[in-house]
Structure 1
Amino acid sequence: MSEQAPNQARVIPLRPIPARAAGDRPSAARPGITTPPAVRPVADRPAGSPPPKEPLWRDLVGDVLRRERLAQERTLKDVADAARISMPYLSEVERGRKEASSEVLAAAAQALGLGLGDLLARAQGELVRLTSRTSAATRRATSSSYDGLCLAA
């Protein structure tokens, strides 16, 4: 049987976990788990400050949808009607509160005159822009050369 407590999620790291150095201690909150290298202080941020948060995909996509809708000077109701989705749901998607399906995203993008690929490419561009500031610091803090992106639904 597993030694894991019944209400705890099992964490499977995407990057190889480097061997613990002599000064590393397991986390008090989660015994057996050491602080990953990316969370340790680096020269670009003061010691003790929290690590920069990775933006969520739903936030990025919602921002792109809202920005495009406002650039076209269209109302939420107009776009929701054209996409055949409810106005409250589109609002929640734009605010990053809901994880929309690919069908909903395609309908919203089409209502704005975009393809699904265009919407996702713009969101990916935002992700690169937002994370490029911290990527140099993160690369210095990690010893792994792996630089991949993993999306899971």
Structure 2
Amino acid sequence: MIEHYIRGFEEELREIRHQIHENPELGLQEFKTSALVAEKLRQWGYEVEQGLATTGVVATLKVGDGEKSIGLRADMDALPIYENSGKPWASKHPGLMHACGHDGHTTILLGAARYFAETRRFNGTLRLIFQPAEEMINGGEIMVK
């Protein structure tokens, strides 16, 4: 059921992932990525906080009057590695690439965000955490401070 629903916007998610992959950003420098994430979340009706730990994003969606909360997290930063994949969506920035899949993590969480916003199939509070600087600087710890 969820898979069938997400197939309806699979192409948009693919485009988002390729855009993020083409434009990798190191930890605490994820300005374009966090702006894209925040823009999409606002389009889908989330309350969005930006600038946590410089580039972190937290989005909140409340549905119904339920008291339960759940948080889902993805990391956004890239690594200082040269990409030579030859893919059309390969990094446009020499010496930087998403070698660890954070472009995918971010896109997957955005897909879940859209699903929950459109279906509203829960009763409570959903918090989505897009963490910067997971690779080298411990951005999660910086976000909670």
TM-score, normalised by the number of residues in structure 2: 0.29
Higher relative contact order (CA 8 A, sep 6+): 2
Greater C-alpha Rg: 1
Which structure dedicates a bigger proportion of its chain to helix? Answer: 1
TM-score, normalised by the number of residues in structure 1: 0.28
